[in-house]
Amino acid sequence: MRLIGMLDSPYVRRVAIGLQLLGLRFEHHSVSVFRGFDEFQAINPVVKAPTLVCDDGMVLMDSSLILDYAQALAQRTLLPKDLPGLQTDVRVTGLGLAACEKCVQIIYERNLRPPEKQYEPWVSRVTGQMLAAFAALEAQVLRQPPAAGLREMTQGGIVTAVTWHFTQQMLPDLVPASQYPALAQFCAKAEALAPFKAAPHGAGTCNPLILSV
């Protein structure tokens, strides 16, 4: 399999970490949807990161759907097996993805739209949604700290850590770590795990670990 997209995308990084935790072999090709548009388009005409090229050549996209497929392929899940645990992890995953989506929207507004065309009421609204998601994540981590071990890491833990790291890299002024100490502590533990280190945020290439599962 080939994973297409840059690790400065939290969605690409989420998949790269998940594939490793599932024990699946893959190659990572760091291609930008902006600077490498034509190259990406030749692989996936939709030009959506992450893109996964399966062994038979079929192209998949969307991080959540790719991980659904990967779990079926690995015959292993990154979700809790008990219903209460699953319910909590699905909530955490939803909050993490919401925070991530709003963070990306703010970055695009700041960096891609000309200053004279930026709409501040929209930015304020999106910022409020992002901060609400992080506040809910902080409360959840305080109430029920998620497992941060290599074998216990769940989809909720992955997306929370990846989104937090992405936000701290891109919008630290809007989400100061001092206001979310429990979240910052959990994410630091997650980032210390080998699959996270093998897929660092940035323009580099993931060197996947082959983990026995």
Q: How far apart are CA 151 and CA 153, in angstroms?
A: 6
* Cβ contacts of 147 within 8 Å, gap of 6 or more: 153, 154, 157
* Cβ contacts of 86 within 8 Å, gap of 6 or more: 79, 80
pLDDT score recorded for residue 213: 53
pLDDT score recorded for residue 74: 96
Go through the domains of the chain in sequence order and give each one's CATH number: 2-78 (3.40.30.10), 83-193 (1.20.1050.10)
Q: Is the peptide bond before 145 cis (omega within 30 degrees of 0)?
A: no
Confidence of residue 209 (pLDDT cuts 50, 70, 90): confident
Q: What is the mean pLDDT of residues 148-167?
A: 96
Give pLDDT tens digits for 85-139.
999 999 999 999 999 999 999 999 988 888 888 888 999 999 999 999 999 999 9
Residue type, 67: L
pTM summary value: 0.95
